[in-house]
Structure 1
Amino acid sequence: MTGNNAGQTRPANVAERIYQQLKTDIFDFQLLPGDRFSESEIAKRMNASRTPVREALYRLERDGFVQVYFRSGWQVRPFDFQYFEELYDVRTLMETAAVRRLCGLEDPAAHLQELTNHWCVTPDKRLSDSDQVAELDENFHFQLVALAGNKEMALLHRSVCERLRIIRRLDFTQHGRIAATYEEHRHILALIGQRHGDAVVAELSGHIESSKNTVRAITLQRIQEAKSRYNLNIRV
């Protein structure tokens, strides 16, 4: 690689590093909901110029993790559980509509082979890393909607799920949730394959509701722990 090429890639690499570190800090509640900070503070902490810091922050804003106040810096987006409840409602509507459509296919099981290969496995072949399972779980729901064949709904569904990602990833830090998710997904796939529309809608709705309740409880617990650790008074 030439010197010029190295110089061209360095700012993007720095911005990516800052983005990943800040996102990790938000997910781990090192940066708390409602915390405010300036670009200069982040630049000093990350030992970087303000240009890659600003690029990383605007990317985090697009992802829904922070918000900008043009006269007073940046803020970690406060948790608004009503907002997340509404996103979960929209997600449930789209996914249940998708599985009903899948059940209407002549041979739905033929369309589900890739998902079956991932989820209908013996316990010794299941993944155990929570981050890997969180990603695989998200892709499970993406594919269910995509396989229903409505491209616009698939795009909208992906957007909703990405806004939920900050709390959904906590689901698999709870003991037993990985095993339960494998079993629930296996059952959902079986019901679709058998074209049991009403049953799969009920199963999928319960699966999403269970995840929602779990992540709400964990999020509240994590915030309370962080408040105690840092002796901060934040509103949840």
Structure 2
Amino acid sequence: MDGVASRVSASAIYESLKEMILSFEIYPGSRITESDLAAFFGVSRTPVREALQRLAQEGQVSIRTKQGCFVRQISISELAQFYRVRTAIECLSLEIAARSMAKEALWALAREWDPAHCSGAATDLSLMVQKEESFHMALARGGGNHALATYLNDINERIRVIRRLDFTAGFRIERTYEEHHRIVCLLLEGDLAAAKTLMTDHILQSEKFARSVTLEQLARTENGAARSAMR
């Protein structure tokens, strides 16, 4: 019974901490301790330790021997590099999908991302990110190159911290539906070059908007921390 309770608590703590990190409630680079978190959540240190280890595996925190646990820093230049790699992978996935992905699967994607369905789109940021990632993963897997899908998934893990901010504005969700739908339609029409051009621009605009919101969030959080320190 205690083991089950511990696993449930660890899972709940993991989800809460991850949301706090992704929403900048816990500032990047902050040192967090098992004892403080255990007191905050009203649990023992065991489920907290399990949650932190899971976050460390995802790269959300780093656990340093004799120093403690630190929330990952956000490097805008590093994220830009990941986005460049992502663009290359996504364009390659389009090339392979154009040759090998079943037309029925492409039509299914086109229907799923029909802009007419945008009004019922997920309003939860995490759910929208999952849905958006699933589109790109479907194209990567659709051509049958599993290594490509693995690399793309790794990139997704690394940029998710700012990717979710791309959907903080409603117009970005609408545009995502429009562009996803158009990319698939271009593949169905046999216009690979246009599909790759749109995919490249789609990723670039997503990165620009997410980066802008990230910098605003960081500045807001830093200013808030400075004001608190002065009180």
Q: TM (normalized to structure 1)?
A: 0.90
Q: Quick check: 1:128–1:178 contact (8 Å CA) kept in 2?
A: no
Partner of 2:164: 169
Alpha-carbon distance between aligned partners in 2 of 1:163 and 1:97, rounded to the nearest angstrom: 19
Partner of 2:111: 117
1:2-38 superposed Cα distances (whole Å, 9 cap, x missing partner): xxxx333111001011101111111221100111121
**What SS does the aligned partner of 1:68 have?**
strand
1:123 CA drift (Å)? 4.9
Equivalent in the alignment of 1:52 = 47
How far apart are the structure 1 equivalents of 2:62 and 2:169? 29
Uncovered stretches (5+) of structure 1, i.e. residues with no partner: 1-5
Q: Secondary structure at the match of 1:23?
A: helix
The residue type paired with residue 113 of structure 1 is: W
Residues 172 and 48 of structure 1, relative CA distance in 2, 3 Å threshold: same
Deviation string 1:63-112 (CA, Å, 9 cap, x unpaired) is 1111112111111111112221121111111110010122224x853231
Distance of aligned partners of 1:189 and 1:61 in 2 relative to their CA distance in 1, 3 Å threshold:
same
User: In the alignment, what sits opposite 1:183?
Assistant: 178
SS at match of 1:122: helix
Distance 1:196 1:120, change over 3 A: same
Residue identity over aligned pairs, in percent, reads 31
Query: Which residue matches 1:18?
Result: 13
Give the 4+ runs in structure 1 shifted more than 4 A.
none
Aligned counterpart in structure 2 of residue 198 of structure 1, from 186, 193, 199 = 193
Match of 1:229 among 211, 224, 227: 224
1:217 counterpart = 2:183: no
Residue 38 of structure 1 is matched in structure 2 by: 33
Question: How far 1:174 moved relative to its partner?
Answer: 2.0
Letter in 1 for 2:75: D
SS of the equivalent of 2:190 reads: coil
* Aligned counterparts of 1:163 and 1:40: Cα–Cα separation in 2: 28
- For 1:54-203, what aligned pairs fall within 5 Å after superposition? 54-105=49-100, 109-123=103-117, 125-131=119-125, 132-203=127-198
SS in 2 for 1:112: helix
AA partner of residue 87 (structure 1): F
Give the deviation of 1:117 after TM superposition. Answer: 2.6
Contact 2:10-2:47 at 8 Å conserved across structures: yes
Aligned length: 227
Tell me how far apart the structure 2 counterparts of residues 10 and 108 of structure 1 sit (CA, whole Å): 45
What is the one-letter code of the residue matched to 1:118? Answer: E
User: Could you say which structure has the higher helix fraction?
Assistant: 2
- 1:125 CA drift (Å): 4.8
For the residues of structure 1 that align with 2:45 and 2:117, how far apart are their CA atoms? 48
Distance 1:124 1:143, change over 3 A: closer
Residue type matched to 2:104 in 1?
Answer: A
Amino acid at match of 1:68: I
